[in-house]
Amino acid sequence: MSTGIQLWIISLIIGLVVIGVVAFLLSLVKKTAIKIDNTAADIWTQGKLTANNTIHIPLFLTKTNQVAGKILKAAVAIVGGSKAINQHIEGCPGCPHCILQSSENNVL
């Protein structure tokens, strides 16, 4: 066999080995790209779900603030009522209203 043919065969074998290695590396790159794409899709989906959940916060916050305002008004009224009761108890020497109330309660 001539030297030219031997060089040609060796070159073809080296070329086939290089093509095999490149094909293997490209398959690894493709698998990694698919994993990255799937992970990015999962992140996108979770991001959309989070955005969908947080879009309602202003609505709920408005309602919460309204309810909290009503609770605060009721608490202030309760504190005022309890102060009035304490003041009445401290200064009541047996006012007619209290005497009538106690006599009505005793009759019943």
For 59-107, give the DSSP string. HHHHHHHHHHHHHHHHHHHHHHHHHHHHHHHHH-SS-HHHHHHHHHHHH
Give the pLDDT of residue 59: 81
Q: What is the pTM of this model?
A: 0.48
One domain for residues 63 and 102: yes
- In 3D space, the residue among 101, 76, 107 whose CA is nearest the CA of residue 88 turns out to be 101
Q: Which of 12, 35, 55 is the last residue of a domain?
A: 55
- Tell me what the pLDDT averaged over the chain comes to: 87
* Residue 19 banded pLDDT, cuts 50, 70, 90: very high
Whether residue 89 is found in the same domain as residue 50: no
Residues ≥6 apart with Cβ < 8 Å to 92: 98
Q: Does residue 66 share a domain with residue 51?
A: no
Q: Are residues 63 and 35 located together in one domain of the fold? A: no
Output the pLDDT for position 53.
Answer: 85
Residue 73 CA to residue 67 CA, distance in Å, equals 10
Give residue 100's domain range: 57-108
Residue 107 above 60 pLDDT?
Answer: no
Q: Are residues 33 and 67 in the same domain?
A: no
Is the pLDDT score of 48 beyond 60? yes
Domain identity same for 44 and 9: yes
Clarify whether residues 4 and 33 are in a common domain.
Answer: yes
My answer on whether 69 and 38 are in the same domain is: no
What gap in Å lies between CA 1 and CA 51, rounded to an integer?
Answer: 73
Q: Tell me how many domains the chain contains.
A: 2
Query: Domain check: are 31 and 63 in the same one?
Result: no
Assign 76 a pLDDT band (cuts: 50, 70, 90).
very high
Tell me, yes or no, whether 64 and 102 share the same domain. Answer: yes
- As a whole-number percent, the residues of the chain with pLDDT over 70 amount to 86
Higher pLDDT, 107 or 8: 8
Asked if 92 and 98 touch (Cβ cutoff 8 Å), the reply is yes
Range 28-32 average pLDDT: 98
CA distance 38 to 62: 38
Average pLDDT over residues 91-96: 68
